[in-house]
Amino acid sequence: MREIKFRAWDFEQRKMFTPASIPNYLPEDGDYYHYMQFTGLKDGEGRDIYEDDIVKMVKDKFSWGKVVYKAPRFVVVDQEGNSYHLDYQLPATRVAGNVHEHPDLLK
């Protein structure tokens, strides 16, 4: 069974709270905070992969993508809108950032 944990982006402070640094109480997802769930997977370098991470994938060619949840699993959606099952891409996947701190990576 995978570990259930979240991180949170604070829109006001423009700061990411890691699971260990989330205060005891944060309001619900909405105007001030955006919560992102841990996928239960790690990239090729052993880093946790969260929803809304931007990852670099190497398939036939180098590609950037955003981690999103599409039932029943997390997938990577690349710049062209193609979806890849994240769990099959792990050895060739690296977390490059996230959509809040590094939105320029998806441009």
Condensed to tens digits (0 to 9), the pLDDT of residues 17-64 reads 988 887 776 666 667 888 999 999 999 889 999 999 999 887 656 678
End-to-end CA distance of the chain: 35
Please work out, in degrees rounded to the nearest 5, the angle formed at the alpha carbon of residue 38 by the alpha carbons of 32 and 41: 155
For residue 1, pLDDT beyond 80:
no
- Between 81 and 31, the more confident residue is 81
